[in-house]
């Protein structure tokens, strides 16, 4: 499968080839993420927006057959952003930004919540069980946020921080 996604050059090295493009983004793309059911594609763009497309995938080729713009989420104020869909809930997306905020969205209900952090955030990754996620900041700190408190987007709690200290 990996080899079939790449054409081979004269040195037998894989060369990526464009299979399908999603149009309509006017700013540089900072982060892209598929939801767990492969029905939505989200892109964080430099102007602070997050754009989401409903995606139809061709069953025989597993390639994007159609991408229809679904919605645009609340903008972050500034800076680089990173996004990640929940690995267990196809409609839950988290975003982090250098604007010192974390935003959690339910894209179907429209419910959202945001938290302010002490430092600019640079990345986010979900735990595979979908119950918590880690946020990395520019100072090298990872903070875990837990969603189990009452199973509501309003009850995000910071449960632990990990700091790398160089000798």
The DSSP secondary structure of the chain, one letter per residue, reads: -TGGGEEE-TTS-EEE----------S-EEEEEE-TTSSEEEEEETTS-EEEEEEEE-TTT-SEEEEEEEEEEPPPSSS-EEEEE-SS-TTEEEEEETTSEEEEEETTT--EEEEE-SS-EEEEEE-TTSSEEEEEETTSEEEEEE--GGG-GGG-EEEEEEE----
**pLDDT of amino acid 93:** 93
**pLDDT of amino acid 151:** 41
**pLDDT of amino acid 92:** 93
**pLDDT of amino acid 111:** 82
What are the pLDDT tens digits along the chain (167 aa)?
A: 444 544 555 556 666 665 556 666 677 888 899 999 988 888 888 888 888 888 776 655 555 555 555 667 767 776 788 999 999 999 999 999 888 888 898 888 878 888 888 888 889 999 999 988 989 888 888 888 888 764 444 445 555 555 555 55
């Amino acid at each position: 499968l990996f080899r079939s996604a790449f054409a081979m050059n004269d040195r037998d090295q894989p060369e990526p080839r464009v299979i399908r493009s999603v149009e309509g983004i006017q700013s540089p793309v900072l982060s892209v993420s598929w939801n767990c059911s492969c029905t939505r594609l989200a892109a964080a763009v430099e102007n602070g927006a997050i754009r989401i497309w409903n995606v139809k995938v061709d069953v025989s080729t597993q390639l994007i057959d159609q991408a229809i713009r679904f919605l645009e989420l609340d903008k972050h104020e500034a800076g680089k952003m990173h996004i990640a869909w929940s690995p267990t809930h196809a409609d839950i997306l988290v975003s982090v930004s250098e604007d010192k905020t974390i935003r959690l969205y339910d894209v179907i209900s429209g419910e959202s919540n945001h938290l302010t952090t002490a430092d600019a955030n640079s990345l986010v990754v979900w735990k595979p069980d979908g119950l918590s996620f880690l946020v990395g900041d520019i100072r090298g700190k990872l903070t875990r946020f837990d969603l189990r408190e009452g199973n509501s987007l309003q009850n995000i709690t910071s449960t632990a921080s990990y700091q790398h200290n160089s000798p």
